[in-house]
Amino acid sequence: MNKKSVFTLVLLGAFTLSNVAYAELRRGDAFFDTTPTANYVKDIDTYINASVADENLLGAVTEAISDYEGISGANINYDTNASASSYDLRVAAGQLGLDYAGETRVYYLDDDDTYQRHYGTEAWDRVKIYLNREYMDYYNYSSANRRKTTIHEFGHGLGLVHQTSNSIMQQGKLSLTDPTQLDRDNLSWKY
Amino acid sequence: MEVGGVMKKSITVSIAAIALLIGGAFSYQQLNVPQKDYRVAISQADFIQFENIEEVEKYSGYIVQAEFTGKRSLKEWNLGEGEVKTASKSEVKIQKVYKGSLEEGDKISVYEPAYFDGDVFDTIEGYNLMNEEGTYVLFLRDTGDKEGYAIIGMYQGKYDISAGMQNTKAKQAQPDDTYRSLEEREYFGENVEQFKKLKKEVLEKYN
């Protein structure tokens, strides 16, 4: 094997490895197998529990809504006039003795008009987001860290999966406070 | 022996035989009833993913070796306006203390981020519940309600080090998996390689 071939192989290997380590999920790969419909995301009936303000996280939730509604290429809108009994998205907060900052739970409506937990292939009918102030305080989350988690969970609520780089969908205590260009591109492609 | 005595003995033996047959048949039926299976619903969560076990230790107020006693109930946090967050409250008996003010023999409650609800196994990020066969190294912190302890980083703070679990059993759950196909896994979330790395470090240090 001549020097040129070896150099080409090394370059190719390095390129492949860098792509494996920092793969950015795009378009369909950036979403769960089942996702909200475009009809759902253009008018998301949203109920924000009083507990969100009680835990001093209302600003983060308001910012998340503003961020996603502001994506020019996507038709995403939250109607915050929903009631506690009838909503598409509910956000609540508390002091939970569980070790996470935020959780997103998805539900589908069964034949008896009852909301059931989503297993992966059912319709996407309802989302609940829980924000855990106890965890945020234990791990010394800054205001930016709290906002990142909130915007991250809202991203799940739109069907986005975790990413490993360049995305609000990266897991962890990070200081990103807006969906990135990658996130905006993916949401614009989808909605 | 009188005829009446023989009759009585025969009746007694017959009754005993019938009782044995019925009891045996009942036991056979019990053993062969298929165990209930559950669909698996996995929540997404945002949390710190630890690079190594030293990071987990840093945030742990308590590090113990413990066994699950079999006593488990539901823990509910009231978030107001009818909204409730649910988890499992599981009792463990401390066998060894590596860090913190607990003592060997203490029984404590641990909040686990998973629970059974009807025909569903509801888990956050693929956390699996402790079982009575396991021997666990647990990394814990106090919680606000003082009734139970939180597991640091959920799956990152609970490791089964019993003989049968020295080779880590973990895989990422697929949409068609049911609980029966996953129940022997310690963890079935999306960060399998990270979990295996942490488990290897735990086995080297706490085994």
Contacts of B49 in chain A (CB under 8 A): 171-172
Strands B62-80 and B83-99: antiparallel
- Residue-wise DSSP of A126-180: EEEEEEEHHHHHHTT--HHHHHHHHHHHHHHHTTBPP-SSSSTTS-SS----S--
Least confident span in A89-98, A116-125, B3-12: B3-12
Q: How far is B33 from chain A (nearest CA, A)?
A: 26
Q: What is the pLDDT of residue B23?
A: 52
Could you tell me the pLDDT band of residue A59, with boundaries at 50, 70 and 90?
A: very high
Angle B28-B32-B34 from CA coordinates, rounded to 5°: 155
Q: What is the pLDDT of residue A117?
A: 94
Would the pLDDT of B187 be above 60?
A: yes
Please provide the average confidence, as pLDDT, over all residues in chain B.
89
Would the pLDDT of A63 be above 60?
A: yes
What are B65-99's pLDDT values in tens digits?
999 999 999 999 999 999 999 999 999 999 999 99
What are B108-135's pLDDT values in tens digits?
999 999 999 999 999 999 999 999 999 9
Could you tell me the pLDDT band of residue B165, with boundaries at 50, 70 and 90?
A: confident
Helix (H) or strand (E) holding A104: strand A102-109
CATH at A58? 3.40.390.10
Nearest residue, CB atoms, A101 vs list B46, B78, B151: B46
Contacts of A98 in chain B (CB under 8 A): 85, 87, 111, 113, 124, 150, 154
Q: How far is A2 from chain B (nearest CA, A)?
A: 37
- The CATH code belonging to domain B39-206 is 2.40.50.120
* Domain extents in chain B: 1-33, 39-206
Average pLDDT rounded to a whole number, residues A29-50:
96
DSSP state of B155: G
Q: What is the pLDDT of residue B7?
A: 55
Would the pLDDT of A3 be above 80?
A: no
Query: Are A51 and B83 within 8 A, CB to CB?
Result: yes
Q: Which of B144, B106, B118 is nearest to B36 (CA)?
A: B118
Q: Which of B138, B188, B132, B182 is nearest to B159 (CA)?
A: B138
Would the pLDDT of B14 be above 70?
A: no
The tally of domains found in chain A comes to 1
Nearest residue, CB atoms, A50 vs list B48, B81, B141: B81
Among B79, B121, B122, B190, pick the best mutation site for testing chain A contact (most A Cβ within 10 A).
B79
Three-state secondary structure readout of A12-37: HHHHHHHHHHCCCCCHHHHECCCCCC
- The whole-angstrom separation of Cα B85 and Cα A153 is 16
A122 vs A54, which has greater pLDDT? A54
Q: Which residue has the tokens 């969560």?
A: B45
Enter the tokens of residue B65.
């070796």
Would the pLDDT of B51 be above 70?
A: yes
- The whole-angstrom separation of Cα A105 and Cα B74 is 18
Would the pLDDT of B11 be above 90?
A: no
Predicted complex ipTM exceeds 0.85: yes
Q: Is A30 within 8 Å of A186 (Cβ atoms)?
A: yes
**CA nearest to A148 within chain B:** B46
Q: How far is B198 from chain A (nearest CA, A)?
A: 17
Nearest residue, CB atoms, B80 vs list A49, A96, A156: A49
